[in-house]
Structure 1
Amino acid sequence: LFGLFFLSLALSGAQALTPSHYLSLSDVARLQNLLSQQFTDLESAYYSVVGLTKLGATVPDHEDVCQFVKSQLDSTSVDSLFFAAEISRAISGCEIPVSNETRDLLLAAVSEDSTMTQIHRAVTALSSLGLPLASQEVVVLDAFHITMALQTASQLSQQAELGGILEEIEDLTARLDDLGGLYLQFEEGLEATAMFVTAAYSLSDHMDMEPPIKEDQVIQLVNSIFSKKSWDSLAEAFSVASAAAALSGNRFHVPVVVTAQGPATVSHSQPTLQLLVTDVMSQPLDSANVVVESAYAVASKAAILNQAPFTINDGVFELNFMSSQPASGYYQFTIAVTGDSRLVANHVELKVKVSTEVAVTNMDLSVVDKDQSIGTKTTRVDYPSKAKSSFTADSHQNFAMSFQLVDINTGVELTPHQTFVRLHNQKTGQEVVFVAEPDSKNLYKFELDTAERKSEFDSISGTYSLYLIVGDATLENPILWNVADVILKFVDEEAPATIQPKTLYVPKPEIQHLFREPEKKPSTVVSNTFTALILSPFLLLLILWVKLGANISSFSFSPSTILFHLGHAAMLGLMYVYWTHLNMFQTLKYLAIIGGVTFLAGNRMLAQKAVKRYALFTCTCCHPPTPPLVCLFTHPTTITATIAMQPLGQSLHCVV
């Protein structure tokens, strides 16, 4: 069940995907202005002339352009021939002279040794100049160069086997990056994405086969290509113009852009909803049929319209929605655009606002005595006039107000989103605002109990101007009405001695942050005891040295010995500095330097001590008639050893 639910959500989301970006008329004009810049070489002339042609704009001064092309043409350059051939095809009456050498040059460029760009430009130039070409040979060469192959294949004969290249469109589409479900683009950027769209639809039109691109992917490509409103170069502007022309004039997919002419708002004074139905270049689709499939009120979900057709008037589709007598509010439209099988994103959701004018009626003002000892006198005030006399209320009385809000055109009672009662002190400028609420019969009532509400007025007595404020997004005439003057009297002893004007724009009181209190330190006795325990091993060492005597007679004052002990002391000092100042990474850096020096010095010191120790041994050898020799090694202090020595060549080998 949940799977079906999420599947229906996904399908509804896919159907609701519509172009959120396209070329508006101002965008097209800005694009034409960029492409109309004075060109300086054949490449810029190609981008300008062909780009303007794709936008449907007129290229001025065909003869001057043709003369410029012929003067800049280099018949030994494939690129130059490509630019010239494309320009000559875009404008009328400009023929490029073609010699046998030119034909041979272009045919020679269609080879395995050429780049894909050279092959594409050579094939396009041959096609534009009307020169024959073996199309099947080019297909074999292009099969591994998908992107440029699409553009090249659209220039080849339909007799060639182009189906394999057309199938590659689906593979290229799979390589597009999906950005949030709204955009599809190549990581190479806008120009690569736009030229892919141009090439895909050019080849599809050439082969009369629908490209393997899904409709939602078409819309994502449209959003990606036309989301950028300024272009960095002529080449980028040319690619956008080419993509716009391809998406507007191909045989299979034409995205539809449905927009309201002006705000999507209708009223009794403007009852007609007007829509513009265009392609991505804001050109009207006059052959389209536009129908409101359904329309319902957003608040109540009540349907009000079904299968209502629009009529076309001077390129604008119109519907008299007010003839259905809708109440003011918002309505959700589902609009279908038909009339052409190529149309994509032709089901559009549109929110329409029905606005109206509001009138205030039955405005009654009165002062009500709390104990009912005095009869209530009610005064009616007509909008927009002000009550002639003021109203006085003290702590024993309540001020009351009641009124109704109705639609001027239909007389239907309204409940706008914002209905306020404002009391403004004429002397101090203080303002107090209350919300007026309707009852079950949509009658607004407001009652002010001066005794209970005195804190909101800071117990400031005086004359207050009474205003009624009515506002709503669907109202054409929001109301700010000065209804009357009300004199409020509070208890004198509760009033402040000095009346200060109240303002909301004052500095806020400083926030005092309460941080966590530090933990209490241990007592001095505990600290001293802990320190004594730490130092006790060192004190014990000193006592034993004094008692037993310290033998330092063998201490060597060689550089390695001194350096070793200094390094060891430095490492102990580094541990202290680490505890007080350094972090772990800084300590490791210093420790590596000190430790390396200490290690080398210690190794040297121990080697010297070993040599010195063996030099103290003496050997007394006995001389038996036959080996092994027995020698007695003695040390001046403690060691005596007997070692058997075997002759080994000319030396003696000792065996312990």
Structure 2
Amino acid sequence: MMKLLTPLFMCLIVGLSVTSSPTATTVVDQSDLDRMKSAVQLSSPVSSNSLSTLYYSILSQTLLSQTISQSADVCNHLKTIKDQTLESIYYITSTAKLLTNCQLNSAQYMTKLEPVIKEDSSVLDIYRAAISLLNLGKPLDSTKVSKALMSSLKKDESLLNTGLTFQLAAKLSKAEDRNSFVEKIGDIIVQADEVDGRFLQFEGGLGITASIITGVYQLATASNKPVGLTNDQALKFANYFLSRKYVLTPKGISELLEVLKLFTNNKYHIPVVITNYGSSALSPTNSVLTVRVTNVLGASLGPLSVTIDKAVRVDDKNVILSKKPFQGVQGDSKLFAINFLESKPMRGQYDVSVSATPTKADPRLIGNTGVQIKVIVLTQVSIASAEITVADRDTGGSGAVTKLEYPNTVRNPLEADTQQRIVVKFQLRDKIVGDLMTAHQTFVQFVNIKTKQEIVFIAEPDSVLNYKLDLNLLTKAKDLNYVNGVYDILIIIGDAVISNPIQWKIASINLQLSSVTSSSETTETVSPFVPKPEIKHLFREPEKRPALIISNAFSILVLIPIVILFGLWLKIGVNLSNFPFSLSALVFHTGLALIFGLYICFFLKLDMFQTCKYLAGLGVITFLAGHSLLARLAKNRKQ
């Protein structure tokens, strides 16, 4: 039993050791903010817009630090609205509060708002009424609002109601009225859904998630209590909001900006976003790795010390850098740079762990340590020891060897046929380090000069990194469609770590792949769009029929018994005196006659299936009538 548990325990330890904390991987940058500004602009703020659209557009512009156009016209428009529903009053008062010097006549709204705050009202109605009163500068009865919210929330404790309750409870003046709601924070957070180990969200999407998280932070701050979110949970919620940065509606933009602004300034959590700035592919001409360190809205976090914890080469897990500091970029406090190639790293992909520490300690910063960044160190490749050999097929590759020198092409075309083989050999050398290397894409391409037909073969390296393509023309002629002619031979080299991919025409070769050289079929390829020849199918010929005289003689022999029958009837006479003229007798004989007639039709024109279909109906009727007739005859005979 212990032997079985040991591997399981070791797997668990390894799994725990490689688990890393979530980090923010994107940011709302200036291009995102510009897109949002365009989305919330209203061509005519007053006319043809609903109150909700007007409110969310102006709220979004305020959050984006924009000047509200036609502010006075909007304020005058709000004052002329006659709609006195609770929803309209909420949007009117909320919009007016966002405008400069827009004073509403509060008396006309008070009689509509104060009666709503009661225990049998919905959470949404209580929220709108209370917020409207605050917008008008009126104080709230903290105890009354708290009791009404608690009673209403017990009736409908939906996610949306909970988020609105938290936000409104944060505005209550008495601590004892807030405490009962603070206790619910933990219960609501556990209802969040985790996605891909990186995101946390509530069912219902952006609006509900933003409402709850905003309410949680506001309520915890107002009550001076722990927020009830771990650092990892806060980062996962922040990642979810950042993933929704492409929202286009004014309502969605305002909800997103409100919660992201909360994540840039609160007493609990400020997520840090560390991302690559510029290209992550480094080469001798671009040796500087630059990272950008900001909050979720792309703003500076103040003086920071940014360090590479370690840089690990993915292929062999070698650590090439450790505890290496970045230098701040002059003129931009958000950018930090380091000469990554100073330590002469090998080509390949690197996992770089970066941490950012504030000069003045700030425990609110989260996601600022061990952030993983991908870096690719590029190199330049050269082709060495290249040669092409045309040899007899049975000699194992030995033959006339032609040395190749990049980027030159063999001057005179080579010759080959199906009794020969083509062998291409070369090596790939790292220009910077000088060692032999491999590449992901190493192809030898044949291109027919006349038809432009292409075929690509893969060159494989051996154990000492010598690439070779051995092409037996007898077996590969089919791949070339047996098309004779002159072909260009090219070597194609490519890789994610190569900054100078190569396409080198090494030679031309005249291939004779078919013995028929004058036929157009061997010199031209057939277009796949040309109609194919008609397929003519020959069905099996029918069996030979007997001679006409034999068929007629057989038909006469078949009819002779019927002729004899009618002849005897004429001679002897027909006695119908005992014929029972009843319905069953008439139906039976009529059905019998029709059956014989059906057989004649079957002989002349009907097929078997049609005959069987008609016979089924006639047969049943004839059978029943015959049965009734025979029963009647038997009864008469007994009497």
> TM class, shorter-chain normalised?
0.5 to 0.7
Letter in 2 for 1:55: L
Letter in 2 for 1:59: I
Question: Are 1:35 and 2:34 an aligned pair?
Answer: no
Question: Can you list the C-alpha shifts for 1:601-649, whole angstroms capped at 9, x where unaligned?
Answer: xxxxxxxxxxxxxxxxxxxxxxxxxxxxxxxxxxxxxxxxxxxxxxxxx
Aligned-residue Cα RMSD (Å) equals: 4.1
Question: Are 1:52 and 2:61 an aligned pair?
Answer: yes
Matches of 1:450 and 1:180 in 2, distance apart?
Answer: 52
Q: Which residue of structure 2 lines up, in the alignment, with residue 9 of structure 1?
A: 15
Q: Which residue of structure 2 lines up, in the alignment, with residue 515 of structure 1?
A: none
Query: How big is the shift at 1:153?
Result: 1.7
Letter in 1 for 2:406: Y
Question: Are 1:221 and 2:237 an aligned pair?
Answer: yes
Query: How big is the shift at 1:348?
Result: 2.5
Q: Residue 85 and residue 415 in structure 1: after superposition, are their counterparts in 2 closer, same or farther (change >3 A)?
A: same
- 1:242-641 aligned within 5 A: 242-313=258-329, 314=332, 315-339=334-358, 340-346=362-368, 347-366=370-389, 379-393=402-416, 399-427=422-450, 429=452, 431-448=454-471, 462-488=485-511, 499=522, 501=524
Question: Are 1:154 and 2:170 an aligned pair?
Answer: yes
Q: Residue 140 and residue 466 in structure 1: after superposition, are their counterparts in 2 closer, same or farther (change >3 A)?
A: same
Q: Residue 480 and residue 503 in structure 1: after superposition, are their counterparts in 2 closer, same or farther (change >3 A)?
A: farther
Letter in 2 for 1:348: V
Whether the aligned pair in 1 keeps the contact of 2:484 and 2:517 (CA below 8 Å) is no
Query: How big is the shift at 1:216?
Result: 3.4
Query: How big is the shift at 1:53?
Result: 2.2
Whether the aligned pair in 1 keeps the contact of 2:271 and 2:365 (CA below 8 Å) is yes
Could you say what secondary structure the match of 1:299 adopts? Answer: coil
Q: Which residue of structure 2 lines up, in the alignment, with residue 202 of structure 1?
A: 218
Question: Can you list the C-alpha shifts for 1:352-402, whole angstroms capped at 9, x where unaligned?
Answer: 222222222343445567999xx9775444322212233345678765443
Matches of 1:410 and 1:53 in 2, distance apart?
Answer: 56
Query: How big is the shift at 1:147?
Result: 3.2
Matches of 1:442 and 1:56 in 2, distance apart?
Answer: 61
Could you say what secondary structure the match of 2:267 adopts? Answer: coil
Query: How big is the shift at 1:118?
Result: 3.5
Letter in 2 for 1:345: G
Query: How big is the shift at 1:481?
Result: 1.0
Whether the aligned pair in 1 keeps the contact of 2:25 and 2:275 (CA below 8 Å) is no
Whether the aligned pair in 2 keeps the contact of 1:42 and 1:80 (CA below 8 Å) is yes
Matches of 1:404 and 1:428 in 2, distance apart?
Answer: 31
Identity, % of aligned pairs? Answer: 29
Question: Are 1:172 and 2:194 an aligned pair?
Answer: no
Matches of 2:170 and 2:179 in 1, distance apart?
Answer: 12
Q: Residue 353 and residue 502 in structure 1: after superposition, are their counterparts in 2 closer, same or farther (change >3 A)?
A: farther
Q: Which residue of structure 2 lines up, in the alignment, with residue 139 of structure 1?
A: 146
Letter in 1 for 2:36: L
Whether the aligned pair in 2 keeps the contact of 1:16 and 1:349 (CA below 8 Å) is no
Could you say what secondary structure the match of 1:249 adopts? Answer: coil
Matches of 1:185 and 1:384 in 2, distance apart?
Answer: 57
Query: How big is the shift at 1:163?
Result: 2.7
Counting matched residue pairs gives 507
Q: Which residue of structure 1 lines up, in the alignment, with residue 124 of structure 2?
A: 117
Matches of 2:351 and 2:422 in 1, distance apart?
Answer: 43
Whether the aligned pair in 2 keeps the contact of 1:294 and 1:305 (CA below 8 Å) is yes
Whether the aligned pair in 2 keeps the contact of 1:367 and 1:398 (CA below 8 Å) is yes
Whether the aligned pair in 1 keeps the contact of 2:24 and 2:273 (CA below 8 Å) is yes
Whether the aligned pair in 1 keeps the contact of 2:393 and 2:420 (CA below 8 Å) is yes
Q: Residue 158 and residue 276 in structure 1: after superposition, are their counterparts in 2 closer, same or farther (change >3 A)?
A: farther
Matches of 2:378 and 2:353 in 1, distance apart?
Answer: 20
Matches of 2:21 and 2:492 in 1, distance apart?
Answer: 39
Could you say what secondary structure the match of 2:446 adopts? Answer: strand
Matches of 2:122 and 2:149 in 1, distance apart?
Answer: 10
Whether the aligned pair in 2 keeps the contact of 1:466 and 1:482 (CA below 8 Å) is yes
Query: How big is the shift at 1:212?
Result: 0.7
Letter in 1 for 2:11: F
Q: Residue 71 and residue 5 in structure 1: after superposition, are their counterparts in 2 closer, same or farther (change >3 A)?
A: farther
Matches of 2:137 and 2:516 in 1, distance apart?
Answer: 105
Whether the aligned pair in 2 keeps the contact of 1:459 and 1:494 (CA below 8 Å) is no
Q: Which residue of structure 1 lines up, in the alignment, with residue 551 of structure 2?
A: none
Q: Residue 426 and residue 126 in structure 1: after superposition, are their counterparts in 2 closer, same or farther (change >3 A)?
A: closer
Letter in 1 for 2:98: A
Q: Residue 131 and residue 421 in structure 1: after superposition, are their counterparts in 2 closer, same or farther (change >3 A)?
A: same
Matches of 1:104 and 1:456 in 2, distance apart?
Answer: 88
Bigger CA radius of gyration: 1
Letter in 1 for 2:190: A
Query: How big is the shift at 1:468?
Result: 1.0
Matches of 1:425 and 1:232 in 2, distance apart?
Answer: 53
Deviates more, 1:51-60 or 1:224-233: 224-233
Gaps of 5+ in 1: 509-580, 582-656
Q: Residue 428 and residue 235 in structure 1: after superposition, are their counterparts in 2 closer, same or farther (change >3 A)?
A: closer
Matches of 1:73 and 1:458 in 2, distance apart?
Answer: 83
Query: How big is the shift at 1:269?
Result: 1.5
Letter in 2 for 1:337: A
Letter in 1 for 2:168: T
Whether the aligned pair in 1 keeps the contact of 2:26 and 2:275 (CA below 8 Å) is no
Matches of 2:169 and 2:445 in 1, distance apart?
Answer: 74
Query: How big is the shift at 1:470?
Result: 0.8
Whether the aligned pair in 2 keeps the contact of 1:459 and 1:496 (CA below 8 Å) is no
Query: How big is the shift at 1:483?
Result: 0.9
Whether the aligned pair in 2 keeps the contact of 1:62 and 1:91 (CA below 8 Å) is yes
Q: Residue 60 and residue 309 in structure 1: after superposition, are their counterparts in 2 closer, same or farther (change >3 A)?
A: farther
Whether the aligned pair in 2 keeps the contact of 1:205 and 1:251 (CA below 8 Å) is yes
Letter in 1 for 2:263: L
